[in-house]
Amino acid sequence: MRTNYLTGTIDARNVDRMLEKLKLEGKEGKKVIKNSCRVALEMINEETSDKGSALKLKPSGLGKRGWRATLKKRSAYIYRNRRNRAGRFWFYSAINYKKPILRLSHLIEKGFKHVGVGFVAGNWFRDKAFRKKRSQALDYLNKNLLYGMKFISTGKKVPNLTQYRKGVRK
């Protein structure tokens, strides 16, 4: 049975320790956490676009407008952070439903009941991308956090997301 959320277990004790240290650093530490998480989630989003582009879908009126092409753009995904309690927060990425063509993504992923045809099965491309890249994304998050800790240890200001992304990929 499929659920509406993804779960997984990974040994993340090193990452948890770094996150705790960075939370104590105040505003700059939280900026490192935010940038690191976003850059790590981009790996899963890239895999999502690859899996979505590889789907064998029947042609429809909406497919002609470029669902696959829009899914490949960086703006096709939104990043959010949620606060559970004071000092504790988590991040996630999702498909940007503000773009009209992407509003059918959940139907492609989870399936739907069509009046004339019956049930159209889902493809679960986002789930497959997450399961394939979750350990690599966690390793990449670890690398990103180490990169950000260098700024804090030297007393330099943490760069914006674009510069942070370029520095991590060097």
pTM of the model: 0.76
pLDDT value of residue 1: 47
Q: For 40-63, what is the mean pLDDT?
A: 81
Q: For 28-54, what is the mean pLDDT?
A: 89
Q: For 87-110, what is the mean pLDDT?
A: 84
Question: pLDDT tens across 125-160, in order?
Answer: 888 898 899 889 888 888 998 899 899 888 899 999
Contacts of residue 15, defined as CB under 8 A and 6 or more positions apart, other chains included, come to: 138, 141, 142, 145
Question: pLDDT tens across 52-71, in order?
Answer: 888 887 665 555 468 888 88
Nearest to 91 by CA among 39, 157, 143: 39
Nearest to 30 by CA among 91, 77, 84: 91
